[in-house]
Homo-oligomer: A and B are copies of this chain.
């Protein structure tokens, strides 16, 4: 089969080749109706721009990498959709790369940079506590998103988009205290966590302290290393252990919605109910929190807005050598049925 050329498309549409080119490149200087017609004809004839040299050059030269740690996190799926849309709008191409729990994301980035001639990188998730020495090896602009930055991080080296995890965690603990709870258990990250998990735990400690509540170490449960981080399965195992300890508590704050749902299962299996016997709160604002029975009280993170800000910040850095901004979004407490006043 003879393949269709740009000249064929121009002839069929009754326009010049440069008009077809403008339509394909989303050039502003073209009538919308003409453009729609050209794009329709292109689709009907399965025309693929075959100007390989230019094409390859462009694809190589204008690539953004999105490195994701935790691909099964439903939050990231929502962000990736937005990133894809925005990257496409700017006529860049996107390389999506999953980073394994055991892999070092900076090594992955450096390797990818060599292979693809990247123009910029968005990091999603993970434990980001790399030395400046190491970060210097990344030569393109990059933005960290939904990654905890410790207070002592040198912020001139990063751009970032996130919620303030300490503050949002405090918001939830304040709420539980306002509902009359003082014996509040937390399902935290791994004990050696240096990322958002640590920040959320700090928010918990700070808020208890502020209200003169002495933290009870027996009510701080750490994630199981052998189970997937932040999963229902992990929350279930953690809550089961907590319940078996016999330690008294009236509310349980899980630092992810999925862990909160897992905890509810452990509570039900112990013959208890939510929120009559135990109040349960989550974090993230997933659909899951809204559809579980009872609905889970949670902190909603504005993922779509955060993704938009991340990519905007990155393009500013690439195209206008913009500064390394730190954009912080506020979360929102969504009241469900899983917390009761005592």
Chain-B contact segment, one of A140-148, A178-186, A248-256, A262-270: A262-270
Residues of B within 8 A of A104 (CB): 43
The CA of A287 and the CA of B228, in the complex, are separated in Å by 12
Q: How many residues of A contact B (CB 8 A)?
A: 47
> Contacting A115 at CB < 8 Å: which of B59, B100, B111, B136?
B59
A233–B287 touching, CB < 8 Å? yes
Counting every copy of the chain, the complex holds 2
Binary flags per residue of A264-288, CB closer than 8 Å to B gives 1, else 0 = 1100100000000000000000011
The CA of A77 and the CA of B55, in the complex, are separated in Å by 31
A46–B288 touching, CB < 8 Å? no
B287–A232 touching, CB < 8 Å? yes
Residues of B within 8 A of A100 (CB): 84
The CA of A288 and the CA of B258, in the complex, are separated in Å by 9
B115–A291 touching, CB < 8 Å? no
Main secondary structure of the interface of A (DSSP, over half): helix
Chain-B contact segment, one of A91-99, A210-218, A323-331: A91-99
> Contacting A46 at CB < 8 Å: which of B55, B137, B232?
B137
The CA of A306 and the CA of B107, in the complex, are separated in Å by 30
Is A322 engaged at the interface, CB distance under 8 Å to the other chain? Answer: no
Identity of the chain B residue whose Cβ is nearest the Cβ of A115 in the assembled complex: B59
A98–B84 touching, CB < 8 Å? yes
A56–B291 touching, CB < 8 Å? no
Is A48 engaged at the interface, CB distance under 8 Å to the other chain? Answer: yes
Residues of B within 8 A of A5 (CB): none
User: A46-B137, A114-B48, A261-B291 in contact; A80/B71 too (CB < 8 A)?
Assistant: yes
Q: Tell me how far the C-beta of A163 lies from the nearest C-beta in chain B, rounded to whole angstroms.
A: 21
Among residues 71 to 104 in chain A, which have CB atoms less than 8 Å away from a CB atom of chain B?
A: 71-72, 74, 77-78, 80-81, 84, 93, 95-98, 100, 104
Is A244 engaged at the interface, CB distance under 8 Å to the other chain? Answer: no
A107–B72 touching, CB < 8 Å? no
B52–A114 touching, CB < 8 Å? yes
Q: Tell me how far the C-beta of A20 lies from the nearest C-beta in chain B, rounded to whole angstroms.
A: 17
The CA of A87 and the CA of B284, in the complex, are separated in Å by 32
Residues of B within 8 A of A84 (CB): 98, 100
A56–B115 touching, CB < 8 Å? yes
A72-B74, A96-B96, A96-B98 known, 6 other contacts, Cβ within 8 Å: A46-B137, A50-B114, A233-B287, A233-B291, A264-B293, A265-B293
